[in-house]
Structure 1
Amino acid sequence: MRLQLFSDLHFETESFDPQPAPGAELLVLAGDIDAGWTALERFAHWPVPVLMVAGNHEFDGRELDQAWPALRAHCAALGIRLLEQEALILTAADGQRVRFVGTVRWSDFDGLGIAQRPRAMRAAGYFLRLMGSTRSGVAIDAELMRTEALACRRWLEDELHRPNPGAAAGGWDTTVVITHFAPSLKSADPRFGRQPGTASFCNA
């Protein structure tokens, strides 16, 4: 399946004119598209199906318990399929059944190793305060984000180990994992280097 991918567009501050990629069968929005959500309307009439996972900035200034169902409803109204700890099987033009597995993933702050976790969590504190999000009325700090990250990781591990009955029996031929937070610092922008704050970008 030929995919088009957008991530970290940050329409709340940036200008960009997204255009469909010739030959793409699916558009993937991998989070931090627009903190205000309004720019998601740009993808409402995309010529191919649209899958999305949320990024951390989709929740800026929001209560997660309320924001999740609101974001899901907003995406559904635009024809965008939001995945959070969910899997979806789609059939490609060549007949292959592709399983898409999606979650924010969040950060466990272990990208530089467990010994560096406290420094990474302290480095994230300032940005989490700017984010201004809450969960059940409690401000999201590094500890709470790590808790969310570990839950995402457990779900992802379980889903990836789920037995595949085979495409003919409703299974899949291949799997694509969509997350906003990276699986390792190998995906981090090299401009940031291996510093404590960079560990906030991944879930090791």
Structure 2
Amino acid sequence: MINLSLGRHDFLNAVEGFARGSHLRQHVWQEIVYKSIPQMSDDDMDFLWFYMRRDIFECYFYELNGKKNTYFGYEDFMHALAALHRGNRYMVTFYNEIEHKQLQALCYRFDGGYHPLYLYIDGKVVGKTKKSSGLQSFNAFVPNGWIKAVAKHKAPENRHVELGREEWWNDLEIYDNFKTKLL
């Protein structure tokens, strides 16, 4: 395992290079961007979300002869954007039918479901230790039948969003309906 310490600009440049590479883009979103979330400040997440939306989006979605198309990896890219978007946060209370206990999770919406960033028991992040951040798996989700309550967090401002592009920050439906909105 190699540990790197990168500033946000270097991190963004590396991610963009991986995203534009043919075979490299397969794992960049879940193995690099998603797993880096616990190390990011709120401002880092806002910065990365905006510049990835502005500069990398066209790597996955394009129009040719009036027809909308995608490149391989677009779903993972949208999944990472949904996870980074701090306005896309929900506290979900659910009854875990496997462990037979009620839990809470800080989640984000993606593809019609709630995906946990962090699980909580008694107000503490589950699995958070000196060696582990408690971040849940990229593919984890809370089954709809388990959900008891959902509370949306207030959407924060993102100082990095450029004038004229505020709709990108405010359009949370894109994460639930990206297949119909973008294809």
TM-score, normalised on structure 2? Answer: 0.32
> Which has the larger helix fraction?
2
- Determine which structure has the larger strand proportion and give its number: 2
